[in-house]
Chain A
Amino acid sequence: MNAGLPSAADGEALRTRLELEAESAGYHLNPDLEFTRSLTHGLLVNEGRYGYRACPCRLATGDAARDRDIVCPCDYRDADLLDWGGCFCGLYVSADIQEGKTSLASVPERRPPAAERTMAPDAPRLGRALSLPVWRCRVCGYLCARQRPPAVCPICKATSDRFEAFA
């Protein structure tokens, strides 16, 4: 099932890239380099296994539709950053943790069990007509009014399949 494992250098290259992306969008990577490199390496291992970067700290099924909410950055990152100062894995952290003012402890799992997961609603929910549908990025909450969601979220870089119809 593994087509050649990624190297440590690959993990570091991805860490550097994600750090740039994160900082440009107001997010922060965990400053513990060894820890963070190990996670980005795990993301690459999962990309080799499944074809997408499933969360390294969660069990992926290999079925893209069922794993969509845990493709990194997952649907739960922003809520965990608010409540705990870090995402479930500890890859993304709050500014306070990045600056060493507080430290990150174990973050409880907020992903609901499979049976309780809500699929992205695909029909507008507002009663009144809008001139365009409104799309919401499930990762960061970005909203936009246009015919189709953008290919890539301009805020958090999530792909268009992470958008749901909002209104």
Chain B
Amino acid sequence: MEAIGRVPGRVVGSHRTKFYGLSTCVWCKKARQLLEELGAEFDYVYVDLVEGKDREAVLAELTRLGRGETFPTLVIDGSDCIVGFKPDEIRRALGS
């Protein structure tokens, strides 16, 4: 599994979504599957797979958003956070 990457998605001109997850976490797996089903474009990072300075940088991003280290966290359009696997909220936020 890649630590960091982007899924191009099928929905053109939609939201900018960032997915923060753990590679060992089942709820993160479900959240990612849903994003893929919805055809969303998203950047992802599996925080347990990044180390050292890179991990600190990712955790600093989460701190800036006012969120603790809870996964999965989805950040939609830079500010809208969904913490935990909440399929209804994810569908609503991505407008589908």
Contact = CB atoms under 8 A, between A and B. Distances in A.
A60 B84 contact: no
Interface in B10-38: 22-29
B84 A108 contact: yes
A108 B86 CA distance: 11
Contact of B29 (A1, A38, A46, A113): A38
Contacts of B27: 57, 89-90, 106
A38 B26 contact: yes
A61 B31 CA distance: 23
Interface of A, secondary structure class, is: loop
Contacts of B23: 45
A132 B83 CA distance: 45
A35 interface: yes
Contacts of B26: 35, 38-39, 42, 56-57, 89-90
A52 to B, nearest CB: 13
A129 B26 CA distance: 48
B85 A59 contact: no
A53 to B, nearest CB: 10
B47 interface: yes
B24 A42 contact: yes
